[in-house]
Each structure stands twice: as structure tokens, then as C-alpha cells.
Amino acid sequence: MTEEEKKVYMLLKAVIFHYHGLDEAEKQDLEDTSRQLAADTALAWALDFISTDYITAFERARAYLNEIIGDYPRQKRNELINMVWQANNLKGYVTEMEATAMLKLAKDWGVEKELIALVTQ
């Protein structure tokens, strides 16, 4: 995984987790993922990106991710949405706010139908 891909992965996960306020399980998941991917720098960058302005973090991340992910193959875009959906399910629930955020990203990336199919399984 390239450094750019690590940044995308960590920012996507972190911004969705922060959408309603980061809880302990989510914090642990971010740290575990960072270790598994050797992405400590990417996680630090993502957390700094969010903390720069918490209120606008999702929209700024959305713009940043859309620039990069728009060039990704459809399967990769779908994998990213699937990853963040599954990560949220690990804690046992997905909030309406998180689902809405993921739906916005899926629509931007042209994988909205895939996310809806995943949710309705």
C-alpha cells in the first residue's frame, strides 16, 4: 500500500468515526489499523486534518477524497466504502449520521447502489 493509499484509508476511517464524536472502540480500531498497515504517519496526518477544523472536517475530507478516489477503479472505491461500513459494524452499530456520511461518499464515488446492497444484506 502506498503512502497516499494509507492516508486515504486512515482519513476515510477517521473522519467517519469522528462524525459523531470518536468513542473508545473507534479510537482503538484506528490505532490497530495504523499498526497493521504501518500507517502511523498517515493516522497522525488524518487526525491533524480533522482537528484543524472539526466542524468542517467531513466536507474538507470529502473534497480531498473525491479528488484522489475519483481516479480509483470502481472496485477499489467499493472496497473503501465496504471497509468503512464494516469498521463501523465492528462496534455493533452504525449511527444515522455515519450512514448518511457514507452514503454521501458512495454517491460521490458512483458506488451508492453497492453500499445500499451491503446495508440491506
Domain housing 43: 3-119
pLDDT in tens, 7-17: 999 999 999 88
* pLDDT score of 59: 95
Please tell me the total count of domains within the chain: 1
pLDDT in tens, 37-56: 999 999 999 999 999 999 99
pTM recorded for the entire structure: 0.89
Q: Which long-range contacts (CB under 8 A, 24 or more apart) does 76-83 make?
A: 77/109, 77/110, 77/111, 78/111, 78/114, 80/8, 80/9, 80/12, 80/109, 81/105, 81/106, 81/109, 81/111, 81/114, 81/115, 81/118, 82/114, 82/115, 82/118, 83/9, 83/12, 83/13
* pLDDT score of 97: 85
